[in-house]
Amino acid sequence: MLQLVFVIAFSTVPLTLYIPPIRSFNLFVHTIQHFLRDSNLFSLHSYFRITLPLFRFFNSMVHVTW
C-alpha cells in the first residue's frame, strides 16, 4: 500500500510543473476580461450601426411592394 502511495505521489509531481500557480492566472484573466469588455462594446456599437441600414432597407422594400 505504501508503494502505491509513493507511485502516485511521484508520478503526479512532474505534472504540477506544467500547471502554473493560480496567482499567475490573475494577469491573464484580467487581460482576457479587458479584451472581452472592449470587444463587447465595439461589437454592440457595430451591431447597431449595421442593423439600422438593414432595417431601413427592408422597411423601404416593404413599402415599395405595398
**Dist CA 36 CA 54 (whole Å):** 26
Region 10-27 average pLDDT: 70
pLDDT digits (tens, 9 = 90+) for 33-54: 888 888 877 777 777 788 888 8
N-terminal to C-terminal alpha carbon distance within the chain: 84
pLDDT for the residue 8: 80
Structural domain that includes position 44:
2-65
Output the CA torsion 28→34→35→36 (10° steps): 110
The distance of Cα 11 from the centroid of its chain, to the nearest Å, equals 33
The tally of domains found in the chain comes to 1
